[in-house]
Amino acid sequence: MFTELARRIAVAVVTGAALLVGTAPPGVATTSRSPIPPDANYHLVLEWGGRCLEERSQDGHVSQWGCHTGPTQVWRLVLDPTTGYHRIINGATGRCLEVRGGSLSNGARVVGVTCQPNVKHQTWLLNPKPGVVVHEIKPRHSAKCLDIAHGGEGSVAHQWECHGGGNQRWLIMPER
């Protein structure tokens, strides 16, 4: 049985409908390279497999799971207009997405932690890919990509050198 969110994801993957990422509403300027309207709630859907990014536990563990409409898969994208980078804040916990400890290493875990001001490994560039409706999501401190290790349900989020694969390409779907 398809939920409304699953149906929207299927439509986005099949049609590549640009309206799903949208553009800023009239009168709203963005300095980010992404046309995503800032300060709104979204689901982050991995192109490869169509699963959603989720913070499931109180320890900040972030991984991919089948998409649903619960708050653990809702992420608020808060743009800093002076830098063009976003904080990505979980709807259930209020915690920020972070590369653990500011590591520069491939494979460093991406976790949910208490938001802190001026922490570069808690800010992210939404980098749209030309000709498609997906984004690379890059932590400011390393410019690597938010990546899901190959696997299914529960595969962990980490950073990895950007290579353009479907495990690094994200549909940014407005919350409904």
pLDDT above 50: residue 25: no
Note the helical H segments in the chain: 4-15
How would residue 34 be classed by pLDDT, with cut points 50, 70 and 90? low
The pLDDT of 6-12, averaged and rounded, is 46
φ, ψ of residue 46 to 5 degrees: the values are -70, 130
Q: What is the pLDDT of residues 73-117, one digit of tens each?
A: 999 999 999 999 999 999 999 999 999 999 999 999 999 999 999
DSSP reduced 3-state for 75: strand
For residue 13, the SS3 value is helix
Q: How far is CA 23 from CA 8, 9, 99, 158, 176, in A?
A: 18, 18, 28, 28, 17
Q: Which pLDDT does position 121 carry in this prediction? A: 96
**Which has more confidence, 27 or 145?**
145
**Quick one: what percent of the chain has pLDDT higher than 90?**
67
